A and B are shown apart, each in its own frame.
Chain A
Amino acid sequence: DAKTTQPPSMDCAEGRAANLPCNHSTISGNEYVYWYRQIHSQGPQYIIHGLKNNETNEMASLIITEDRKSSTLILPHATLRDTAVYYCIVRGMDSSYKLIFGSGTRLLVRP
């Protein structure tokens, strides 16, 4: 699976949009981009995933560049409860479906 690069930490003000970038320049054509987050001392929580089109759900939006070498997770109106470590993961569709976690971005939402 392709490697991802994320900034180690970011912060944003409560109520504002949080834009979390992820580079995955070696992504191949059949690999998806997944986003999970982990709130302190809990298991990771699925947020969203995509292949090449932009995606939106009740939690977030995922913007994938046309060349698919990078993506951005957008939390449109961040709340204090969104403070967490956010992981961008590229996963192929082989039979194992393993998720390999990188170091992620620690997002701090400020009051």
Chain B
Amino acid sequence: GAVVSQHPSRVICKSGTSVKIECRSLDFQATTMFWYRQFPKQSLMLMATSNEGSKATYEQGVEKDKFLINHASLTLSTLTVTSAHPEDSSFYICSARKQGAGGTEAFFGQGTRLTVV
């Protein structure tokens, strides 16, 4: 398989501050990564598609100025939640697309639980 690592796994921040979450593909290069958000007892909601070297593509209803995405290298994408508020508390999950001989697969990080107090 392939390994995708997120950091931090848990973070607590004060309302109004910004938080950065990292997503790394450890053993493969990923030109495309995806960011999801998941509220308790709900499914994953796709927030945006992160493309290496270009601007992210956001899903409808996701504020691009609030959720800043940077994909500066083939192994790292970051999601920054700016001016966080309690309603931004959620489980954030990234995935990275790996192309191989068997096709294209998406591998997921372990998730980051954000709590805004």
The chain A residues found within 8 Å of chain B, CB to CB, are 36, 38, 41-46, 49, 87, 96-104
The segment out of B11-19, B70-78, B82-90, B107-115 that lies at the interface is B107-115
**Shortest CB–CB separation between residue A106 and chain B, in angstroms?**
10
Determine whether the beta carbon of A41 is less than 8 Å from that of B106.
Answer: no
B residues sitting closer than 8 Å to A (CB atoms) are: 1, 4, 6, 32, 34, 36, 43-46, 49, 57, 91, 93, 95, 97, 103-111, 113
A interface secondary structure, majority: loop
Chain A positions within 8 Å of B32 at CB level: 96-97
A-B contact pairs, 6 of them (CB 8 A): A41-B91, A43-B110, A46-B105, A97-B97, A97-B106, A101-B45
Are B108's CB and A44's CB within 8 A?
yes
